[in-house]
Amino acid sequence: MQPEVALREVAQAVSVCTRCALHFSRKRSVPGEGPADAQVMLIGEGPGFHENEQGRPFVGQAGKFLDELLALAGLKRTEVFITNVVKCRPPGNRDPLPEELSACSAMLEQQLEIIHPRVIVTLGRFSMARFLPNARISEIHGQPRWVDDGCMIVPMYHPAAALHQPKLRPDLEADFARLPGYLQMQPGPQKPSVPPKKGTEAETQLSLF
């Protein structure tokens, strides 16, 4: 099956999914969007109000900021695949529950297998936890980690975190600016380009984004 067709089938499955209670309150599911051969895949937390209305990921204020961040990396939205760990909006934009994350896990895994990106950028702690459980985003943001299949994971703050706390914006911008260099790296045990650093108390609290 062609990757484009496979992605459309996943999107169709998401649109009629009833695996968790989120389908009761959704207006539109948000499977994600982007080319099937994208080298970069960005995974956020879950759809918000505007995403629920339009059925597209990152179309609110955080989405506009994400477009600016991609530009810093020399990338366009049309060149990357953008999705979330849950495909339907949690009521009131609350954190996704474990059963909701579990319900969407298989569909996200299918997208990962179809696209097989070179770099996965996790935006916020919920997507980071899928690949790097028990890590603290304030300590490892922007630092590449290889996984077994040769794909690189780069954990970053969620764009919404920087909108709520502007002092995080320089870190997020710097992390995105490094993406072109990461795309040139070869799989293997390489040192992160940024040394680990302790987050401030405020940054630690912001690990929820």
Which of 15-19, 36-40, 107-111, 187-191 comes out lowest in average pLDDT?
A: 187-191
Please write the tens of the pLDDT for every residue from 126-181: 999 999 998 999 999 999 998 877 799 999 999 999 999 999 999 999 999 999 99
Give the tens place of pLDDT for each residue, 76-86.
999 999 999 99
Handedness of CA 42, 43, 49, 53 (dihedral sign): positive
SS3 202: helix
How high is the pLDDT of residue 209? Answer: 35
Residue 97 DSSP label: P
Per DSSP, the three-state class of 117 is coil
Q: Residue 188 has what pLDDT?
A: 59
- Complete domains list, the chain, with CATH: 3-187 (3.40.470.10)
Environment class of 140 (CB within 10 Å of its CB; exposed 0-12, middle 13-18, buried 19+): buried
Distance CA(149)–CA(162), nearest Å, equals 31
